[in-house]
A and B are shown apart, each in its own frame.
Chain A
């Protein structure tokens, strides 16, 4: 029974993955063309030494493969991708794949932590608000959510830095994932908080966690609102339904009624929203990454875009598209676990 359920989910996931391949290819070609249509010649931008002239510009053009026609470039690009080569960034001078591999864990760690903080805060807030609709608590939650959404992440980020770093001195300096004086653990997962634990270095772990708190909190503040509102709405529906009334009438404990019956049934839309929130956060946390000097993929892509550095932007979009596909897949699987009746084709 369990096996078949799991097997069905996996088969469904596999089919989904296959059907997303054409979309990924489309994204690939589209970004490629878009970058070349945009005005701005990367060769001129990067040939910016005090004496760089025509010769240097041609040199860079050749180095970036821009001296060939666009269809030729596309063919080369696709064959490179086929060989797992995303090109080289002019900005950092490194292969894009290496840059992304180093930076993606930073973004993921930040986003996961932020999402975790947001969920831990939002679900209870939503439940509490739904239990007493119209009460002071409900209005309080609404006000908190409104504030969180109103304040852009970089403003809340700068505010948090000002209060906790500048005024109180509680937080470490907001410069990246780890204090510059701490030595790094051997890289295993790329997630510093995990790597430090694996290396048994608790000082380092604590230092990494301290760095993580402020940026994650400023990102979480922004996404608590949609999560809490959705939890509240779907809890209200769930609390008013027949099975909750029945459960109450047979005298089940409050905990069992609210958590086991009402919340479990209300959680589906929250998972959907969490998936979407996660994907948007990954791409949209560029401001937080900038404010906290976080070496993530989003700020990397923004810098590349400003300097018309084609390869990193294309690599980033491809990465985001693949992640989006993956997240949707995970959400599908979570559906199956939360509600075994679900079988979306």
Chain B
């Protein structure tokens, strides 16, 4: 009896194996038209506006929804990156900015259709933008940075024309409309699912899409995978063609070593969040394409709480700035994969330009650090803690050890504190950490934006808790400065103040290491720091 069943089992196995082999060619064909993208994060909502949505959700929405306008792309050191300077139409066929800069007029494409086949109208655009500035969603805070705050600012002129009015000529109004949040929603479909409690259909849009984007969501398993199908009628790409890949699989693979294995074996096509050590070894093997772009809208800092002793003393902050072993940290944490923000010389002691972030003229100089400590009245040093979050431990841990070792040489005793991510963000928000490392990202990286958001106000992103009225005033004024030379001058002033006050220490801009099969082309570094699936194609 036992032998019979065993034989049966083997024959079943053999048959299935044969079937698998027979199926192989047809599978291979569709495989070439499929993009399999693996990531350590996951998509948790189909509407990126929902509070708590992840970066992967942002990226997904770029492909499932269209916006009025989109960023162009440019080459930076031979690599494609998004270009804040060129804004092209996406759903808008063309747009005009009035001479006084107070009116933006968008004319919609006549052939644009939502995924259910209904045409995209100015009413839909108005409803979507109204939603963005009135509903309690993430878009509100983003659009605020472009002076877009009220539904009265959006006016339907005719079914294909919409006008946006601004209170001031704000440079960031137009770029803001190209960011993740102000996506254009099929208002009829969404309204059909709105409830009196939820007039903007946030609950429904979290689980469903109602867009005109390049890809239709086929299956959505939060935390596991999303499968997208190409919308054959979509023609908002550069060459008026649908997107290249027929299918896109976005799959969560939490273990970084497994992601590296998958892409090396050719089972995955593209990954952007590998460990630096894996990227280095994959690059050395030369089988895959590795595109490393410094994340020029992101910065890693060593921050000090400017309101908390002893870091309220500028000389203590300067001492720290001259006591960090920058080169060793850069090598240990990132394997040198990034753009350093330290170690230049300013010939006449003035900033080289008015662009933020910039390379500061600091390098490790322990004698100088000791002098500053003496000037601060702390020649014997002091004790403090240095915190980082668990999610960043692969880069922050080796860095923290080097900080501790180096500061010990000038008498500063450092205890390293590793905090779970939620705990870290809470403590930063409550301004309880004296000394820590964190990173920031800005979607619309302009000098005044950085200084206004990351160096002013009693808010979470002001890591150093700096409260300098002069700095805040210059940054605020620069925001609406139409004259380029004056703007540059303000930037230089701000950068000089940054170096003088040393509220926090800019370390570097880590690379985005995109590792992909050699057949993948067109990868572009986007402002949301994820892959835009519409950019890529296969040779």
Contacts and interface: CB of A to CB of B under 8 A. Distances in A.
Interface of A: 38-42, 44-57, 59-60, 63, 90-94, 99, 102, 158, 161-162, 165-166, 169, 173-176, 180-181, 202-203, 205-206, 290-293, 295, 299-300, 303, 305-308
Nearest to A92: B222
A293 B253 contact: yes
Given A56-B141, A175-B262, A293-B253, A306 B422 contact: yes
Given A91-B223, A93-B206, A202 B261 contact: no
Contacts of A161: 258, 261
B429 interface: yes
Interface residues of B, number: 67
B33 to A, nearest CB: 12
A47 B422 CA distance: 10
Nearest to B428: A44
Interface stretch (B11-19, B307-315, B478-486, B502-510): B11-19
Interface stretch (B45-53, B100-108, B378-386): B45-53
Nearest to A165: B261
15 contacts: A38-B423, A40-B422, A41-B422, A44-B422, A44-B460, A51-B141, A57-B429, A59-B136, A92-B44, A93-B52, A169-B265, A205-B16, A290-B254, A303-B223, A306-B390
A24 B251 CA distance: 36
Contacts of A51: 138, 141-142, 144-145, 453
Contacts of A202: 12, 15-16, 19
B16 to A, nearest CB: 4
B422 A60 contact: no
Contact of A60 (B51, B268, B421): B51
Contact of A92 (B16, B223, B268): B223
B255 A41 contact: no
B38 A175 contact: yes
Contact of B141 (A53, A158, A180, A303): A53
A181 B27 CA distance: 8
B142 A49 contact: yes
Interface string B432-456: 0000000011110000000001000
B20 interface: yes
Interface in B118-140: 136, 138, 140
Given A91-B223, A165-B265, A47 B23 contact: no
Contacts of A293: 251-255, 258
B249 interface: yes
Contacts of A205: 16
Given A60-B51, A295-B223, 10 more contacts: A42-B422, A44-B429, A46-B51, A56-B141, A166-B265, A173-B268, A202-B16, A203-B20, A305-B420, A308-B420
A41 B420 CA distance: 11
B345 interface: no
A332 B273 CA distance: 48
B61 interface: no
Contacts of B51: 46-47, 49, 52, 56, 59-60, 63
Report the 4 A-B pairs with minimum CB-CB distance, sorted nearest first. A46-B52, A308-B422, A40-B422, A40-B423
Contact of A44 (B27, B268, B425): B425
A93 B460 contact: no
Interface of B: 12-13, 15-17, 19-20, 23, 27, 30-31, 34, 36, 38, 42, 44-45, 50-53, 136, 138, 140-142, 144-145, 206-207, 221-225, 227, 249, 251-255, 257-258, 261-262, 264-265, 267-268, 390-391, 420-423, 425-427, 429, 440-443, 453, 459-460
Nearest to A173: B267
Contacts of B222: 92-94, 99
A40 B426 contact: yes
Residue of B258, B265, B391, B420 with highest tally of chain A CB at under 10 A: B258
A101 to B, nearest CB: 13
A91 B258 CA distance: 22
B225 A180 contact: yes
Contacts of B252: 293
A99 B443 CA distance: 32
Contacts of B221: 102, 295
A175 B147 CA distance: 45
Given A166-B261, A290-B255, A291-B255, A180 B426 contact: no
B423 A308 contact: yes
Contacts of A206: 13, 16-17, 20
Residue of B34, B207, B421 with highest tally of chain A CB at under 10 A: B421
Given A51-B144, A52-B138, A299-B254, A41 B426 contact: yes
B141 A55 contact: yes
Contacts of B261: 161-162, 165-166, 173-174
Nearest to A290: B254
Contact of A45 (B13, B16, B421, B443): B421
Contacts of A52: 51, 138, 141, 460
B45 A93 contact: yes
Contacts of A203: 16, 19-20, 23
Contacts of A45: 421-422, 425-426
Contacts of A303: 223
B64 to A, nearest CB: 15
A139 to B, nearest CB: 31
Contacts of A165: 261, 265
A306 B254 CA distance: 14
Contacts of B422: 40-42, 44-45, 306-308
Given A93-B206, A181-B27, A175 B258 contact: yes
Contacts of A162: 261
B138 A173 contact: no
A184 to B, nearest CB: 9
Contacts of B53: 49, 93
A339 B518 CA distance: 64
A50 to B, nearest CB: 6
Contacts of B50: 93
B227 to A, nearest CB: 8
Contact of A181 (B31, B441, B442): B31
B28 to A, nearest CB: 10
Contacts of A174: 258, 261
Given A44-B460, A45-B425, A63-B51, A175 B251 contact: yes
A187 to B, nearest CB: 12
A120 to B, nearest CB: 14
B258 A49 contact: no
Contacts of B145: 51
A50 B142 contact: yes
Nearest to A62: B136
B52 A90 contact: yes
